Amino acid sequence: MRGRAGQLAASSSYWTHRSCVLASTSQETAPTREEKQKLFEGGLGERKVTFPKNDSPSSFKQVLEKKFPGLKNCGGYELLRSMVGSRVSLEKLKMPNSVFTTSYLAAESNLGQACCYIRPIQRDVEMIQLDNKNEDEDEMVFEECLQCKESIPLLKLRKHIQACTQSLSSDEEDSILPKLKKRKRTPICQYMCFSQTNIWDMSYLFQRICQGHSRSTCL
């Protein structure tokens, strides 16, 4: 009985709910499936978030901004839910004087089981590609590249393999192709230059020209 009671107490001290961060300050409708996918790829979109169940506004804010870092620079945000009888139109949740807390959202607000939409107030939330996010290396999963044997984060493995394969293919082609030796060209002046003493000797001139043609190197 004590174990069961302890589990119930532990589960009641946390509140898990579906939350979806919108990128635009002016969005009035729930995002479509395609929009949700783009938001998710940009580090926003719909996620399940677990909050400590308490009356601390700062605790709620810290958990939300840790899950969605883009909310830190948007100049505040408001919470919305889909309107009753509509899956598209959104309406704002009434904010208490003490600002939103998990205890209020879980027990007192009209959120219920509906998805909680978070919309920025002053500035659109910047969408960041997942590849460029600063992930904690202790929480990242690594896999060895079978080509270069380097340990790569699983999130970036496919892109690495494409670049790694192209690099290896290029190296193999370079090793297969024979290295061509540069052919040394013999300047024509080698066959046409004479000393001053022989410049009027026409027979000597004719002989040197014929020698140049016979060697098949005359330009």
Nearest to 79 by CA among 90, 69, 89, 68: 90
pTM score, two decimals? 0.56
Question: Of the ranges 12-16, 31-35, 179-183, which one carries the lowest mean pLDDT score?
Answer: 179-183
Looking at the chain, the domain(s) classified CATH 3.10.20 span 2-129
CATH fold of 2-129 reads Ubiquitin-like (UB roll) (3.10.20)
- Predicted confidence (pLDDT) per residue in 39-91, tens digit: 988 888 899 999 998 888 888 999 999 999 889 889 999 999 999 888 889 99
- Predicted confidence (pLDDT) per residue in 162-199, tens digit: 888 877 666 555 555 555 565 666 555 554 554 444 44
Provide the phi-psi class of 132: left if phi over 0, else alpha when psi is between -120 and 50, else beta: alpha
Nearest to 125 by CA among 64, 93, 77, 81: 77
